Structure 1
Amino acid sequence: MVGAGAYAIYYDLQRSDFTPVESQSRVVGQAVGAERNDKVKIDEPSFTMYLPGDWEEVNRVQREGLITWRSTIEGQDARSLTIFVDNIPEKMPVNRIMPVTVNETSLVPGDVSDNCTTFTGEGEDADASTQTTAHGRWSGVDFICHMKGIDNQVGVGAPGAINQVVMRGSDGEHRYFFLYIERNIQPNYVILSDILRSFRVK
């Protein structure tokens, strides 16, 4: 479980300017084709994946094991993906969840949920006006619903644990949490599905 540092980072991720929390972001293993519509290959120590060609790394915090990428197309740049590796923010709330199934070294994404407030009941707080989080469940995946959240903050989860997907590669087991933030007028969750389909552990 991560400590106070991760929550400071979580707060920072909600800001539109994505100010780096630790040092300057660095680009690792990215190969961009001639067209902006091409895919960008991300090559990290424990995984690879493909992002849309316009996406760029905007934040990397080694001590918390997280990396954030964001779209750079004008009018679509309110869209980002953060991956936490092994240092999982188990209490981080989201307001949508995309379930995945692990298929050996790859992922099979399911359908993204509606805003969780539409199917999540009240928690222990009897006064719903002050309640900020509640236990949510969608397609067999448990998560923490952000009852007051208005952003499209999509967590990616698998059955059996909250805010993590456990996968095994050549160097052993790793845990991942994907946080997709979508603030565009027309949300596009197909982008997230495509990214997850391309994800491979080494």
Structure 2
Amino acid sequence: MSTVLGVAAPLNHGKYLDLPFLIELRLVGEYGLRCKRELWRVQYALSRIRNAARDLLTLDEKNPRRIFEGEALLRRMNRYGLLDESQNKLDYVLALTVENFLERRLQTLVFKTGMAKSIHHARVLIRQRHIVGRQVVNIPSFMVRVDSQKHIDFSLTSPFGGGRPGRVKRKNQRAAAKKAAGGDGDDEEDE
């Protein structure tokens, strides 16, 4: 320990932070997050939910506030698919992890359903407005509800969803049409 103006400061900065750093880095890579701030946002939301559940668990079983707010919290967790219907106690809310939340993101669900080649490709498809629920969503961190999960599909205007073909495919179609019409197709004329 060295002291500067009477304040003790550790000499070896950051050694004890090595394990949380590696855990965060693994989650960022596994779920295709842009930066650690996205992970920290999820951690903060989880801590708020767990604090609310912990606060409600301190109240009496018959307390109207515990009954009303506890049911609302459990209903919200069930709606987002974070808890099963059979898990209807506040103790299960305390057992939630960051991974449970990250599994319900639109980006993860697009990748898990096989619509994207990788988790990063899923993020690109969402940002480029190819993915649609009942409406087009271009936010990769969108939390998908259980009843909305079946509506995840390609947009009708997307080349992936049978819409207008992309630039390269249109160029290849023009070249094939020119070749079929009797042209040799060697001369590249852009129109």
- TM bracket, shorter-chain basis: under 0.3
TM-score between the two structures when normalised by the length of structure 1 = 0.25
Structure of higher RCO (CA pairs closer than 8 Å, 6+ residues apart) = 1
TM-score between the two structures when normalised by the length of structure 2 = 0.26
Q: Which has the larger radius of gyration?
A: 2
Q: Which is richer in strand? A: 1
Q: Which is richer in helix? A: 2
